[in-house]
Amino acid sequence: MTFVLSLDAMGGDYAPQIVIEGAVLALANADFSYLVFGDERVIRPILANYPKYQHAFHLVHTTEVITNDMKVAMAIRGLRTSSMRLSIEAVAKGDAAAVISAGNTGAYMALSKLQLKTLEGIDRPAIARAMPTLKGRSIVMDLGANIECTSQDLVQFAIMGHVFGQRLLEKERPSIGLLNVGTEDTKGNMIVQDAAQSLKNIPHINFYGFVEGDDITAGTTDIIITDGFTGNVALKTLEGAAKLIQKMLQDSLKQSWRGKLGYLVAKPAFQQFKNYIDPRLYNGAIFLGLKGIAVKSHGGTDAVGFANAIRVAASLAADAASGQIASDMENLLTKEKFAL
């Protein structure tokens, strides 16, 4: 199936270089093309390095850029032709099947909510991403869209996570854990306490109970729900730990000839380990709760990471998962009367 993906070429720490390079990487054995929004004067010289793929890029020139430190209000009201806004607008108009940006998360979420609209019964979209665990992978959300959450928000995240997990993890009743400072029923503030009580009363939700930080990588539950502040801190901590382990292992192997020899013997195993913990290969988080597909790339990623974010969006667009997920979410919200 041929479709178009919309790219915010100017969003991210290393844009537009890694956006174009990542887009080229993602085109291998793919059947889609791009609408690219950004400054044509800096994008075209980069694209000139890939003459084989230039036919797959349609550039839309704009010089307005939403920077990482820009206030959300300014991004919404002040920049009417920013690369981020126009790339999202392409999905809203039906010109593209999905949008991908590595830019300002707050602005991206606000503009996506404004233009793509939220599903019936959803107050706040949430950022969801699959992460590696000892048992395979789990979905963690919210990863930074909503810094402060109510118990109602957490319940809605759980409902969205349940439906998304059914699709992504291929499980009829994925288990859901609520991140807390302890697993005991008495632990946590009133927000998580109230959310837990509500989730216990939803028969269609397989609520496990409270989980702690180490349960994320342990794979204790299929889905872990938390507020955006805690989720983002947890995500960055895990990514940092993965880089630390990789660096320490490399340094240890270089310290002696025995280490170097051992590395040569076990090189395939080390490469497999490197791939398993490489955060770039898990880059690409979806904004759940919207009526269109919007995927957020890590702002500091490289071309490999951005290519993976594109593949996430392409996968959702290719099998029309967004429409099915949206329909299932609205049905469950209506059934449980949690359109609060």
Digit-coded pLDDT (tens) for 170-210: 899 999 999 999 999 889 999 999 999 999 999 889 999 99
Q: What residue segments make up the domains of the chain, in order of their start?
A: 1-119+290-320, 123-288
Find out if CATH 3.40.50.10490 is the number for domain 123-288. Answer: no
Q: What is the CA radius of gyration of the chain?
A: 21
Q: Is the peptide bond before 142 cis (omega within 30 degrees of 0)?
A: yes
What is the pLDDT at residue 314?
92
Q: What is the pLDDT of residues 112-144, one digit of tens each?
A: 999 999 988 788 899 999 888 989 889 999 998
Residues present in the chain in total: 340
Pick the CATH number of 1-119+290-320 from 3.40.718.10, 1.10.10.10, 3.50.50.60, 3.40.50.300: 3.40.718.10
Same fold flag, 1-119+290-320 and 123-288:
yes
Q: Give the pLDDT score at 339.
A: 38
pLDDT for residue 328? 72
The pLDDT score that the predictor gives to residue 271 is 65
Per-residue confidence (pLDDT) for residue 173, from 0 to 100: 94
Q: What is the DSSP string of 14-63?
A: TTTHHHHHHHHHHTTT--EEEEEEE-HHHHHHHHTT-GGGGGGEEEEE--
Which segments in the chain show pLDDT lower than 70?
A: 1, 257, 259, 262-267, 269-277, 319-324, 326, 330, 334-340
Name the one residue in this structure whose structure tokens are 């854990």: 177
pLDDT for position 145: 86
